[in-house]
Amino acid sequence: MNPQTPAKPLSGRAARARADAARSEDAILTAARTLFLEAGYDGVNLDQVAAAAGVSRQTVYNRFGGKEALLRAMLRRHWGGMLAWADWVRESIGGVTFDDPAAKLVQIAGAIYRFAEEGDQIAFTRLVVAESLARPWIGEEFYRFGKAPTLEALGGVLAAMADQGVIDCPHPDLAARQFLGLIQEFAIWPHVMAIGPAADRLPPRETVITEAVATFLCRYGVRHPEGGWRKDR
């Protein structure tokens, strides 16, 4: 077919079949998410997933081919929200002007925090920690699908800021890990480790973000001679 020739529209039957397949896949992944997070890898089988999703076991098998592939797909889906942000960063980085690095870092930290609190990131991290010793591929996939592209996108932001002269950051990949650590030490790890009542004494999100940005800019920020963070070149 000529690359310039538009694809033919789907017939009504084909369109309905595609929509049904998408709904089945969504139901399967939603059921798998709940079951894997509750019972772990060994505690879940395809029959359970099928029953929870309201489809046949054969449908689960036809869509994913087995439990391992299903978990991989679930991990990709989990990271989807964060990767959408990462994709936006990569697509728009060339046209972005970072007039105020502190404000941009606050925005990034807020996105990381929201994903941690609203996206079951704590439960997923517990699952990965528990299962990766016996199945290293789970940790590798968790990193490859989400953490690695998130760090890449954040490093790209920091490199662009450095190119514009609003921060002094010779190693943006290292700095990306440092910045992420300043947030995750409060947003993720105390809850993953289930530190109990001590979690109630953690500072609020706004304080964590404000202090993380201030700490980061103490190392990498560029100041005006009269004081304050530089907002222009």
Per-residue pLDDT tens digits for 168-203:
999 999 999 999 999 999 999 888 888 888 888 899
Asked if the model's pLDDT at residue 164 lies above 80, the reply is yes
Q: How many CB atoms lie within 10 A of CB 117?
A: 14
- What pLDDT sits at residue 104? 86
Compute CA distances 81 → 103, 114, 199, whole Å: 21, 10, 26
Architecture of the domain made up of 79-220: Orthogonal Bundle (1.10)
For residue 29, pLDDT over 50 is answered with yes
End-to-end CA distance of the chain: 51
- Express each pLDDT in 128-163 by its tens digit: 999 999 999 999 999 998 889 889 989 988 998 899
CA distance 89 to 208: 23
Global confidence as pTM: 0.79
User: Which numeric CATH code is attached to 12-70?
Assistant: 1.10.10.60
In this predicted structure, what is the pLDDT of residue 120? 86
pLDDT at 18 over 80: no
Structure tokens at 222: 């560029």
Task: Compute the distance between CA of residue 74 and CA of residue 141 in angstroms, rounded to an integer.
Answer: 11
DSSP classification of residue 42: T
The per-residue pLDDT for 231 is: 45
Residues 4-28 have a mean pLDDT of: 68
pLDDT on residue 6: 59
Q: Where in the chain is the domain with CATH 1.10.357.10?
A: 79-220
pLDDT at residue 232 in the model: 44
Those residues whose C-beta lies under 8 Å from the C-beta of residue 180, and which sit 6 or more positions away, are 112, 150, 151, 154
* In the chain, ranges of CATH 1.10.10.60 domains: 12-70
